[in-house]
Amino acid sequence: MGALTTLLISRQALAVGLVVLLGAGGGGYLWLQAHQPDTIPTTVWLNLRDGQSEVPLDQKLTFQASRPLQSATLEKGVTVSPAVEAGLSVAPDGRQFTITPVQPWADLTTYTVTLAPQRDAGGHPVNARSWHFRTTLVARVVALTAGEAQLADGGEIPLGTPLQLRFNSPMEGPSVLLTANGSALSLDWASDQLTAIIPAGELKAGFVELAIQAGAQDQKHRPLSRWDLRTAVVYHLSAHTTDLAGPALIQVPNDPSARDQSGLQAANLVFESVAEGNITRLSALFSKVPDEVGPVRSGRLISFKLARHYGALLFFSGLSKGSFRVFQKDPVPYVSDDTPGWFHRTNSRFPPNNLFISVEKVQAAEGAQGLAPNQPALGASAFNGDDARGATAPLHRSVYGYDPDTATYSKTEDGHRVADAALG
């Protein structure tokens, strides 16, 4: 029998080395031994399942690899969509790496993590992979409303108005502790637990800081995002008003024959300045104007400064010689009785305190001036501090008295309690 040749080849051989063994009797054995590199791909796992939901917003993404990976290649080959700013850390053995977002993940958002094909530290292939996950919802307050109006920080709440808190997830009612200046408020929950009513009368007049205390959660035990709001509960006398495109500053007299004036209760701010003989002049600033305002009298130097400061359209009847000279040099947008048709006179008062202006004329004057809409925040609801129980202004014989039930002040001047004639 001739020489026996045996061929031994691995089933997965990719490279072949030749080894020859010669026997003593002239016969020989030829061995072909297969040499192969380890071509099994390196496997990478993520600490989240593909398609996992309710993922916490502070979740770190930790990857495990069956072999060490190359840090530089890995950093370029991992992407997250939607994009986030994150840090990448790699364990010393190169087999574990972690993505830590700088900011929490957005809630109720589906993210895709993609691993691009690459080679590990030993040159073995790493196949492309992708994972999807969806973050959990963050329970939060959607809105606080008073009637139909949504309240913002620094806004006003009419005294006696019930409030409505709306949430984006059904809440665990007993866990929600709402406080006003640190004192707990009662809440009436709707059947869906998405809305809570703060009954009328729960809030007293004055400055209020509302806050939901820590520990509130929804029915899936997800914590409520922090919520607070600064506001003022104010007493309003009911007067019909119309919104203006921009503020109006109307000059109103305050001598005894001019009282009681009409429309002042609707003003956002009223500035009182001494005119002459210890008699004061009022500059009333409106963002919403009542049906009628008056009487209207002459402007003063302070009128020009206030109009310029607030970007207001100034309404007046005449100017003193000194004021007129200043006004000529540095005018502001204005409407005066020099032009017929803007003001009207009433028979119920004696001149000169019988000149009035209507809401229609105020609006028409804004349009005629061609002023761009401009309505700055007006009012003083953000002020805080202790309530003064009274104040006096001896120069013009005025006394201010405080009413704690409404957190308002009444004014008595020359022994007469001042009121708005339009409100009766």
In this predicted model, what pLDDT tens digit does every residue of 194-247 receive, in sequence order?
999 999 888 888 889 999 999 999 999 999 999 999 998 888 777 788 889 889
pLDDT class of 143 with cuts at 50, 70, 90:
very high
Model's pTM, two decimal places? 0.58
- CA dihedral of residues 298, 303, 304, 307 (deg, nearest 10): -120
Supply angle C-alpha 156, 229, 102, rounded to 5: 145
pLDDT band at 389 (very low <50, low <70, confident <90, very high): confident
- Return the pLDDT at 17: 41
pLDDT higher at 74 or 174: 174
Q: How far is CA 216 from the centre of its chain?
A: 21
pLDDT digit string, tens, across residues 338-377: 888 999 999 989 989 999 999 999 999 988 887 767 766 6
Which stretches of 254-373 are assigned E, i.e. beta strand? Answer: 269-276, 279-290, 292-293, 313-316, 334-336, 344-345, 355-358
The string of pLDDT tens digits covering residues 306-333 is 999 999 999 999 888 888 888 888 888 9
Q: Which residue has the higher pLDDT, 407 or 285?
A: 285
Phi, psi (degrees; rounded to nearest 5) at 248: -115, 135
Residue 147 confidence (pLDDT): 83
Size of the chain, expressed as the number of residues it contains = 424
Q: Are 139 and 218 in contact (CB under 8 A)?
A: yes
Give the rounded percent of residues in the chain with a pLDDT score beyond 70. Answer: 87
pLDDT, position 99: 94
Check: CB of residue 121 under 8 Å from CB of residue 112: no
What per-residue confidence (pLDDT) applies to 38?
A: 64
In the three-class reduction of DSSP (H, G, I as helix; E, B as strand; rest coil), residue 322 is classed as: helix
| Kind plus residue range of the DSSP H or E element containing 79 | strand 78-81
- Pairwise pLDDT comparison (35 vs 70), residue with the higher score: 70
pLDDT exceeds 80 at position 151: yes
Q: Tokens 């399942």 — which residue?
A: 49
What backbone phi and psi angles, to 5 degrees, belong to 154? Answer: 90, 0
d(CA 176, CA 111): 31
Token representation of residue 407: 């957190």
